[in-house]
Amino acid sequence: MKECKPVNTPVEVGMKLRTNSIKESINSTLFKSLVGSLRYLTFTRPDIMYAVGLVSRYIEKPKQDHFITAKKILRYIKGTLEYGLFYTHSQDSKLVGYLDSDYGGDLDDAKSTSGYAFHIGLAVFSWSSKKQQTVPLSTCEAEYMAVAACTCQAIWLKYILSELYYSNEEPVTIYVDNKSSISLAKNPVSHSRSKHINIKYHFLRKQDGSDTVCHGVDTLDSETHEVVRFISKVTLLASGGAGHIYPSTTNPPVATGDGIAMAHRAQAVISNMEFVQFHLTALADEGLPLKLTMPRENSFLISEGVRGDGGFLFNLSMERLMPSYDKRAELAPRDVVARSIDDQLKKRKEKYVLLDISHKSRKKILSHFPNIAAGCLQYGLDITQVPIPVVPAAHYMCGGVRSGIHGETNVRGLFVAGEVACTGLHGANHLASNSLLEALVFARRAVQPSIDHKRDCREEDRGFEAYLYQHHWEPTMVGLEACEMRNLFCCAKLVVRSSIARRESSGLHIAQPIILT
């Protein structure tokens, strides 16, 4: 083997072996020694796990084709001697799993082989490749059994990590490439192809929180302060964001995080709450010539087009601030500019900065920004003559109730659309000018799954719905302000917890130490 030619893969794609091969037998002691050495190497080489597991099945009566397959693994190793696991410091603390399975790959007993790998940060630290214990009757079942095994490992890993004081409250993400098994886990249909995997189905449903069922919503009549209960097999939340957890926001008064907080209390998964977009130039009340008799319900938004059209940002000493933060100055990305303004305000202990477009011609300003000019003039501010006092204001939440591509959540019967949802479209930063389109698309996508869920609801649910009609909160038990304050506190806590949990900087979230003085 010293002079052998290296190969690129440890085993040929689609390789099938059988115990009763027609090839001649070989020395079993030699074969066991070779396979044993290879199995020892799998402790640091997950890339050969499947291939070694395959040849390990034939150590009792090895044949020539089994030996050739094992030698090919050696040829692969020769060409990849530099491969291994290198563990480095990483801020990423999220536990992520990947899995896959073949279908009836063993020619002797028609059983499938499934494998999984988990990583935290940049390197894999737990992996397996193993033949399944039972014969699957479909590719869906083979993948489903792989999901069950992977989920068991994920639960065990979370327990071990918690014992090592490496606690992470976020749910484990497991990537599955079989649409049928995913659909079965989320919305099972009792038919002849899925009855035999009913036990595994119940186990997975219990782990992903899908045992929770939404039967409707309790609402508060803002005029009578009475609680009104609506019973429904399907509920869609479209309640907006939670901008009012911050003192300055462009959001309307109703953006108090009610939908997110309700879903959280119903055990729905909440994700990416640390990614909050701030509009960097909202009109600052403190710098207006005409003082307000009472605070405005939401901040007046000064368009980013003012910066794009040549506006400059100054501190109150009329010193330009952006060139010292970014070479692109005022044309830097919005999150960079917002953080720069925030840094200036904290360092100088001031409440706003100035956005000046007055060096442009009056005609151009009024033609380009007529609404902004008219809005500022109501407070005695002529933007063609003086700078505009501005401050960053909470604008959009990229996080929210985690949903699938059809607006479905892990709570059965509960769907989400709009800013309350975390669909993954926006990622770590707000994808500008797509919020309305996102809400429309996901609301439309939720229609058919909602119809399917309503049709699949069990008959015994009807009795429970009758019970819900008869047992509900007494009227006038709660007040509007108390409910909104409770929901704001809940959302604020979720943002703080998510921000602490994400140790790396990404998009709208900047991780940096807090220095207490």
Look at residues 381, 211, 207, 421 and name the one whose alpha carbon lies nearest to residue 292. Answer: 381
φ and ψ of 135, to 5 deg:
-85, 120
Q: Kindly list the catalytic residues.
A: 334
Residues 388 and 300: their CA atoms lie apart, in Å, by: 12
The three-state (H, E, C) secondary structure of 48-101, written as one string: HHHHHHHHHCCCCCCEHHHHHHHHHHHHHHHCCCCCCCCCCCCCCCCEEEEEEE
> In angstroms, what CA-CA distances link 120 with 154, 184, 513?
12, 28, 22
> In angstroms, what CA-CA distances link 43 with 23, 32, 48, 127, 431?
31, 18, 10, 9, 43
Q: Specify the pairing of strand 235-237 against strand 312-314.
A: unpaired
Residues 392 and 387: their CA atoms lie apart, in Å, by: 16
Look at residues 134, 163, 130 and name the one whose alpha carbon lies nearest to residue 52. Answer: 130
Q: Roughly how many angstroms between the first and final C-alpha of the chain, as a whole number?
A: 66
Look at residues 176, 172, 132 and name the one whose alpha carbon lies nearest to residue 154. Answer: 172
- What are the start-end ranges of the H helices in 164-298? 179-186, 198-207, 258-265
Return the H-helix or E-strand segment holding 128: strand 123-131
Q: Is the dihedral of CA 444, 448, 453, 454 positive or negative?
A: positive
- Determine the 3-state secondary structure of 462 from DSSP: helix
Residue-wise DSSP of 410-450: SSBTEEE-GGGEE-SSSTTS--TT-HHHHHHHHHHHTHHHH
Residues 430 and 441: their CA atoms lie apart, in Å, by: 17
Look at residues 462, 446, 423 and name the one whose alpha carbon lies nearest to residue 187. Answer: 446
Residues 442 and 439: their CA atoms lie apart, in Å, by: 6
Look at residues 479, 490, 419 and name the one whose alpha carbon lies nearest to residue 261. Answer: 490
Evaluate whether 227 touches 220 at the Cβ level (below 8 Å). Answer: yes
Identify any residues that bridge with 154 across adjacent strands, giving them in sequence order. none
> In angstroms, what CA-CA distances link 327 with 129, 313, 324, 334?
51, 14, 8, 14
